[in-house]
Amino acid sequence: MTRQLGMAGVAALIVFAGSLVYVGYGFYDVGADTPHWDITRKLIEVVRDRSIAVRASKVELPDLQDEQLILKGAGQYAAMCVKCHLAPEQSDSEIRPGLYPKPPNLTEQRIDPKTAFWVTKHGLKMSGMPAWGLGHDDATIWSIIAFVTKLPGLSAEHYKDMVARAPPDEEMESMGKGDVKKPENGGNAGAGMSMQTEQKGEKKH
């Protein structure tokens, strides 16, 4: 028994020393143009999917059918998301080939709105997906999600038309004018709706 424990201790020490050498000598290739090993990729995917699923299940889903809300989201999507997540009938963009992991094509892939909200608000570590919640309130993020749920199946023409009809971005405008006053009820989209759908928790990981 003691002998087995001793062996296990030696094995653990060898693994630890091996890891130190591997990291210390810079053997790990951190470049985004070298894919993960299959097992690493699968592990990251499981951790990511479970983490998102547990958090997204606590998000409260508001009504996303409001026409003005969807139009507002179209403008936001075109300004902030399209370069990575594409527009209808667009097959690639300048930034996409270099991103690892590759952003899903949101014109083809339908994503559950609670999941999409959580990921859009909080972003994903080590992936290039930004946490948009740091600069945008929940109502604005929900407008984007309202639009994203309509995106699969939309024609390029319809997409352009919706983006053209989108209301001007109040946040951007007020920044330009140095006016920090928030529009009442978050502006015309989502007016009167309570869209604070998540509790705030500040932890480090």
Q: Residue with the closest Cβ to ligand HEC?
A: 81
Among residues 128 and 183, whose Cβ is nearest to ligand HEC?
128
Contact 99, 170 (CB under 8 A): no
Among residues 130 and 152, whose Cβ is nearest to ligand HEC?
130
Positions 25 through 84 that interact with ligand HEC (CB under 6 A): 48, 52, 80-81, 83-84
Shortest spacing between CB 10 and ligand HEC, in angstroms? 38
Under the criterion CB under 6 A, does residue 152 sit at the interface with ligand HEC?
no
In a 13 Å sphere around the CA of 64, the CA atoms on its Cβ side amount to 21
Site stretch for ligand HEC (CB under 6 A), options 4-12, 96-104, 160-168, 179-187: 96-104
Contact 57, 50 (CB under 8 A): no
Q: Sign (positive/negative) of CA torsion 137, 139, 140, 145?
A: positive
Each residue of 3-38: b (16+ CB within 10 Å) or e? eeeeeeeeeeeeeeeeeeeeeeeeeeeeeeeeeeee
Distance between CA 143 and CA 128 in Å, rounded? 22
Of 59, 74, 75, 85, the residue at the interface with ligand HEC (CB under 6 A) is: 85
Q: Is 101 exposed, middle or buried (0-12, 13-18, 19+ CB in 10 A)?
A: middle
Of 144, 162, 163, 166, the residue at the interface with ligand HEC (CB under 6 A) is: 144
Hey, what are 9's tokens?
């201790």
Of 119, 151, 189, 195, the residue at the interface with ligand HEC (CB under 6 A) is: 119
Under the criterion CB under 6 A, does residue 101 sit at the interface with ligand HEC?
yes
Of 62, 75, 88, 103, the residue at the interface with ligand HEC (CB under 6 A) is: 103
Beta-bridge mates of residue 124: 129
Among residues 181 and 205, whose Cβ is nearest to ligand HEC?
205
Shortest spacing between CB 120 and ligand HEC, in angstroms? 4
List contacts with ligand HEC (CB under 6 A). Answer: 48, 52, 80-81, 83-85, 99, 101, 103-104, 111, 115-116, 119-120, 124, 127-130, 132, 144, 148
